[in-house]
Structure 1
Amino acid sequence: MKELSHLNKYLFKYKFLLILGIIFLAVSNYFAVWPARVVRYALDYVTESFGLYRAADGSAISSSLFDDFETGILILGGLIIVMALTRGFFLFLVRQTIIVMSRKIEFDLKNEVFDQYQKLPLSFYRKNNTGDLMNRISEDVTRVRMYLGPGIMYGINLLILFPMVIYEMLRVNAELTFYALLPLPVLSVSIYLVNNIINKRSEEIQESLSDLSTHVQEAFSGIRVLKAFVREMDSSRKFNIASEEYKDKSLKLTFVNALFFPLIMALIGLSIILTIYIGGNKVIKGEITYGNIAEFVLYVNMLTWPVTALGWITSIIQRAAASQKRINQFLKEENHIQSTENLDVDIVGKLAFENVSFVYPDSGIKALDQVSFEVSPGESIAIIGTTGSGKSTIANLILRLYDTTQGGVKIDGKPIEAYDISSMRSQMGYVPQDVFLFSDSIENNIAFGGDDITKEQIIQAAKDADLYDNIDDFPEGFQTMLGERGITLSGGQKQRTSIARAIVKNPKLLILDDALSAVDTNTENTILKSLARIMKGRTSVIISHRVSSAKLADKIIVLDDGKIIEQGTNESLLAAGGVYKELYDKQLKQEEEA
C-alpha cells in the first residue's frame, strides 16, 4: 500500500463522496440483511398458521384464519419487495458516489501524469519509448481506478456486511454458523489463485495484442515500401504468426475462465448443503425452526459475493500497486531545467555562446567542445557542418531543451538560465530538422505557435514560405486536413509548413535547423529570397549542411566534430580556401551535374 499512498491526497479531496458512499453502503446492507429475517418470520408464520388452519378445518373460524393467513403473507411479501427496492436505490447512490469518485480521481491522475510529461526535459524522452509513456497514462491509470472504484467499494462492502451477517447468524446458532461458513475461506483463496492466473494470462494477451497492433500499424504506415519491395505475402505471414499466438493465449485464458464459475458454484453449493443438513438435524431436535434454515441459506448467499470478491480485491490491489509504482517513477522525475530568476521580459536578440561544451547525458557523446560565438541583435549567423558535427545541438541549447555541460549561453547579456522558459521560447521561432505536423488542418498547423494569430498572418506566412500556391491548389485550401504526421503533404511541403509555423508569430529570434533539406534548388532559392526579407531586423540562426543557405548570413561558422574550425563571412571563407571552400565547390559541382 506504500505506493498507493500517493492517492491519499485525491481520496481526501473527494472525501465527501467517499463518506457518503460508505453511509449508503451501510444503509443498503441493512436492507439486505433484514429480508432474511422477514423470510424466516414468513416461513415460521406459514408453518404455524397452516397447522392452526388444519386443526380448525371445517370449523367456523377456519375461513377467518385463512383470511388472516393470506393478509399476513401479502404484508410480509410486500415488506420484502419494499426492502429490495430500497436497497437497490441505495446501491444506485453508492455507485453515484464511490464509482463517480474513482472516475474523478482517474481524470485528475491522468492530468497529473500528462502535466508531468509536459514539464520533463527532452533528455527524458530520449531514454523512454512512446509506448511505455502511453501505457502509464492509460493502462496503469485504469488499473489504479479499479482499486479506487470497485476495489474500495467491494472492500468496504465486505467490512460492513460481514459483521452484520455473522452477528445475525450467531444470534440463531453458533454451530450452524461454523458449518455454513466453512467452505467460504477455501472459496476466497481459490478465487485469489485463479484470479492471479487470469491476470497473468491477460497480461500475456495484452502483450500479444500490442505486438499484433504494432505489426498492423507498421504495415499500414509503410504500405508504400511493402508494395515497392513486393513484401505483401511476407507481411501476411508475419501477421498470421502473431495472430496465431494471440489466439492460443486467448484460448488458454478461456479455459481458466471456464473453471472460474463452476468452482464458485461448487463451493457455494457445498456451503448450502452443509447448512441444510446440519440445520435439518437441529430442526428435528427442536433447536431451530424451518425459517432459520431458509434464513441461513440467504445469509450464505449474501456472503458469497463479498468473500469471492476478497480474492478479486486482493488481486486488484496488487495490480494497482504495481501500476502506481510505475506511475510514481515518472511523477518523481525532476526537471533539472529550471529558471533561476524567472525573467519575463521582451528579448532584443543578442546571442552569445561562451566556451560551450555539451555531452548528451543518455549516450555520453560529446557533441560540442569549447564553442564560442556572438550574434548581435538583428544579425544572422550560419552554422555549417557535416552530419554529427553538433549543429542541431546548438539549436537545442538556444531553446534550452538541454543545459550546457560547460560554459554558458547568454541572451541579451544575461545567462539563459535567468529567463522564464515559456516566455523566452514564445519569442523564438524554430524549424526543427525532423518536421512534425499534427493531424489537423493546414491553417491550425501554421497557427500552432501562437494564440492570437489572424487569418491574414497565416496567409502571409504561407506566402513567405513559398507554400501558398500549393495550398491554393488543394480543394479545401487552408482547411485541408493532414494525415498522421502530415502524410498528406510531400516532404518539401511539410518543411515549408514548418517554416510558416515558425515565422507566423513574428519571433525575435529565428532558428532554422536544416530547414531546407527536403526542397529542391529552385524552391530553396525562392524561400531564401523570402527569408532574406523576413530575417531583417531579427536575430537568425541558420543551421545547414548546404553552403547555399549560408550565403544569407552575416557570419558563418564551420563545425567539425563539435569544434569550430573556421569562421567569417561567405567571401572571407571562400578566399581562405579551407573546409568551407571545399564544401562550396563540391555542392556547386553537384548542382551543375543535377
Structure 2
Amino acid sequence: MSSHPNGAPSPGRPGGLGGPPVRGSAAPKVRAKNSKATVRRIWSYLSRQRAGLLMVYIFTVLNAVLALVGPYLLGKAIDSAIIPRDYGLLIRFCIMLGGIYLLGSAVSWVQAYVMTSVSQRTVYELRRDLFAKYQELPVGFFDTHASGELMSRATNDIDNVSNSLNQSVTQLLNSLIMLSGSLVIMLLLNVPLTLIALITVPLVVLASRRITGLSRRYFKNQQRHLGELNGFIEEAVSGQKVIKQYRREQSEVARFRTISDELNNASIKAQIVSGLVGPVMNMLSNLNFALIAGIGGWMAYKGMVTVGIIVSILNYAKQFSRPVSELANQYNLIQSAIAGAERVFEVMDMPSEYSGEQPQPLDRIRGEVIFRQVVFGYQPDAPILNGVSFTAQPGEMIALVGPTGAGKTTIVNLLTRFYEVDGGEVLVDGKDIRALNKNELRRQLGMVLQDAHVFSGTIRENIRFGRLDATDREVEEAATLANVSGFIARLPQGYDTLLGTDGTTLSHGQRQLLTIARAILADPAILILDEATSSVDTRTEMHIQQAMRTLMKGRTSFVIAHRLSTIRDADRILVIQGGHIAEQGSHAELLALEGIYHELYNSQFKQAIQAG
C-alpha cells in the first residue's frame, strides 16, 4: 500500500503518489466573495451571451407591456360597455383582451425558451472553467479535499446557479417593468387610490429584507452540508470492499444518518425561513386589496371615481404587489445560487500550480538527476527530508528502500514537482527543475504506480492515454512490449473492449500491465516505479518485472520497493531512514556492510522461508 511520507496511510487517491497533507493547514484558505462581487462574476459569464440577452430583454418588455394593457382595457370595458349595456362594444373589448392574453402567453413561452438557452450556455462555460481549474490545481489540493465534495461544487452548486439564471433574470426585469409601469398608470387613473395602494409597500420591503437576510445564511449552510454528504457517499461507494470486509455496514449507515441529519436540519431551516415569504406577502397583498376595495367603494358611492377605475387599480395593485413578492421569492433563489457560486469561485480563485511559468519547450533530456542538500516537509515544523543528496546518472536504475514514512515517495514527489523543495535543489541535466516548465518536465517523466488507475473507456484508449497522437499500431506494439497483448487477444472485442469505472473487470495485475504499456507508449526519459509489483501474485509479478525491464531499458529509473528481491539488479540502492540517506550502494555492497539494508533483507528472507 502506498503511504504518506509521514507514515500515515494514504487516503487512496486513484493513481496518486501517496497522499500528503497540504503544508500548513488542512486546505488553502480562500475568503468567500461577498454577494455583490459574486453577482458581478456571474454576470461576467452571463454577459457573454449578448445576442440571447437582447432577445430576452425585448420579449420581457413586450410581455410586461401586454400585462399592463390588460387591466386598463378591463376598466374601460366596465365603464364604457358593461355599465352602459353596450354589448357590441363589450364583445370587441373581449376580443382585444383575449388577443392580448394569448399573445402574452406566446411571448412568455419564447422568452422562457431563449432564457433557458442563455442560462445553459452560461452554466456550461462556468462548469467548463471549474473543471479546467481542477486540472491546474496542485496534487496537494486533492490530497486534502474529498473528491465527492469537489464533485458537489461542479454539480449541485452550479445547478443552483443554473436554476437561478433560468428564473431570476427574466423575473427581475419583468418585475421592475411591472412595478414602474403599474405605478405610472395607477397615478394617471387616480392619485388617492394609488397612495392607498402604496401603504403596504414599506411593510413588504421590510419583511422581505428580514426574511431573505436570514435565509441566505441557512442556504449557505445547507450547501456546505450537501458537499460533506456527497463526499461521504463517494468514499463509501468506492470503499465498499473494505466496508464489507471489516463488517462496518452498520457504522457507515450510522455515520450517514449523522451527516444526513445535519443536512436535513439545515435544509428544513432554509426552506421554512424562505417559505415565510409567500404567506407574508399574500397577507399584505390581501390587506392592500381590502383597503383599496373598501375606500374605493366609498369613493364610488360619493361619485369621486368610477367602478371601472376601481377595478383597474385593484388589478394594478395586485400586479404591483406581485412583483414585490416575486422579487422576494427570487431573492431566496438568488441567495441559494450565490451560496453555490461562492463555493465554485473559492476553487477558481486558488492559485494554479502553473502560475508564472513560461511555456518554454524542453529538449529530450539525458536523464541525469541530482538531489543537492534537499530539505522538505509537508508541514513547516515537521521536515520529512533533511539534506538529502545523491546523483543518478543517465540510464541508471536507482532503488529507494526504507521503512514506511521514511521519505521515499517524497523524493519522487519533488522530482515530478508535485511539491516544491523547501531548501536545496533538484537538478535534471544540470538545470534546476524549478526553472523548467512543469508540463514539459512531466512530459519526459513516466510513472507506474501501485494503484494502477484505469479510466472508463476501451483498452486502446487507456493505453493511448500515454500519448494521444499514437497510432493503433504503436498502441499494439506498446502492449506487446508490456506483455499485455496476450490477455487482450482473449477478450471478445480485443483492444476495443470497454472497461468499467477503475477497470474493475480486470485483475490488478492486468491493470498494472496496462499502465506499463501506457508508460512505454509515452517513451519517457525518466521513469518512476512506485511499488508496481507489491499487490500481485508471483507469476503475475514475473510478467510485470519482464515488462518493467523492457520499460526501464536505456532510461533513468527510480524504483520504490518493499520487496527487496525485486531490486537486486539496481545500479544503486538508496536506503532512506529518518529523512536522510543512511546507506547507498549495490545489493552486494549493502549486504557486505551488514547494516540497515542487510537487516531488512534478512528479515524478508526469513519471512519467505517461514511462509514457504
Q: Which TM-score tier does this pair reach, normalised by the shorter chain? A: 0.7 to 0.9
Aligned position for 1:549: 566
Contact 2:285 2:321 in 1 (8 A): yes
Aligned position for 2:183: 166
DSSP-derived class of the 1:429 partner: strand
Deviation for aligned residue 1:365: 3.3
Q: Which of 545, 549, 562 is equivalent to 1:532? A: 549
* In structure 2, distance between residues paired with 1:396 and 1:196: 46
Please say which of residues 414-423 and 535-544 is displaced more in the overlay: 414-423
* In structure 1, distance between residues paired with 2:368 and 2:396: 10
Aligned position for 1:385: 402
Alignment of 1:307-322 (within 5 A): 307-322=324-339
CA deviation string 1:153-181 (max 9, x = no partner): 22222222211111111111122112233
* In structure 2, distance between residues paired with 1:534 and 1:139: 43
Contact 2:463 2:515 in 1 (8 A): yes
TM-score, length-normalised on structure 1? 0.85
DSSP-derived class of the 2:284 partner: helix
Deviation for aligned residue 1:299: 0.8
* In structure 2, distance between residues paired with 1:563 and 1:254: 57
Q: Which of 23, 37, 46 is equivalent to 2:58? A: 23
Deviation for aligned residue 1:195: 5.5
Contact 2:397 2:559 in 1 (8 A): yes
| Aligned partner letter, 1:400 | R
DSSP-derived class of the 2:361 partner: coil
Deviation for aligned residue 1:507: 2.1
Alignment of 1:139-538 (within 5 A): 139-190=156-207, 193=210, 220-229=237-246, 261-337=278-354, 341-362=358-379, 364-472=381-489, 474-475=491-492, 477-538=494-555
* In structure 2, distance between residues paired with 1:403 and 1:255: 49
* In structure 1, distance between residues paired with 2:154 and 2:263: 24
Contact 1:499 1:515 in 2 (8 A): no
Q: Which of 23, 41, 52 is equivalent to 2:76? A: 41
Deviation for aligned residue 1:472: 4.9
CA deviation string 1:48-74 (max 9, x = no partner): 432xxxxxxxxxxxxxxxxxx333222
Q: Which of 78, 92, 102 is equivalent to 1:75? A: 92
Alignment of 1:114-129 (within 5 A): 114-129=131-146
* In structure 2, distance between residues paired with 1:361 and 1:5: 37
| Aligned partner letter, 1:411 | V
DSSP-derived class of the 2:465 partner: helix
Contact 2:374 2:385 in 1 (8 A): yes
* In structure 1, distance between residues paired with 2:385 and 2:310: 84
* In structure 2, distance between residues paired with 1:224 and 1:403: 35
| Aligned partner letter, 1:348 | I
Contact 2:456 2:501 in 1 (8 A): yes
Q: Which of 564, 579, 587 is equivalent to 2:596? A: 579
C-alpha RMSD over aligned residues? 3.3
Deviation for aligned residue 1:540: 1.8
Greater share of residues in helix: 1
Distance change >3 Å, CA 490–CA 561, structure 1 → 2: farther
Please say which of residues 582-591 and 204-213 is displaced more in the overlay: 204-213
* In structure 1, distance between residues paired with 2:45 and 2:267: 36
| Aligned partner letter, 2:461 | N
* In structure 2, distance between residues paired with 1:210 and 1:531: 41
Aligned position for 1:88: 105
Please say which of residues 280-289 and 239-248 is displaced more in the overlay: 239-248
Deviation for aligned residue 1:590: 2.4
Distance change >3 Å, CA 356–CA 311, structure 1 → 2: farther
Please say which of residues 157-166 and 244-253 is displaced more in the overlay: 244-253
TM-score, length-normalised on structure 2? 0.83
Please say which of residues 487-496 and 270-279 is displaced more in the overlay: 487-496
Distance change >3 Å, CA 562–CA 225, structure 1 → 2: closer
Distance change >3 Å, CA 197–CA 476, structure 1 → 2: farther
Contact 1:377 1:539 in 2 (8 A): yes
Please say which of residues 262-271 and 427-436 is displaced more in the overlay: 262-271
DSSP-derived class of the 1:581 partner: helix
DSSP-derived class of the 2:452 partner: coil
Deviation for aligned residue 1:291: 0.9
* In structure 1, distance between residues paired with 2:380 and 2:259: 33
Contact 2:60 2:174 in 1 (8 A): yes
Contact 2:208 2:277 in 1 (8 A): yes
CA deviation string 1:329-386 (max 9, x = no partner): 3222223555755331332332222324242345653222222222233332222222
Distance change >3 Å, CA 340–CA 252, structure 1 → 2: closer
| Aligned partner letter, 2:584 | Q
* In structure 2, distance between residues paired with 1:530 and 1:224: 29
Gaps of 5+ in 1: 51-68
Contact 1:188 1:310 in 2 (8 A): no
User: Which of these two proteins has the greater Rg computed from alpha carbons?
Assistant: 1
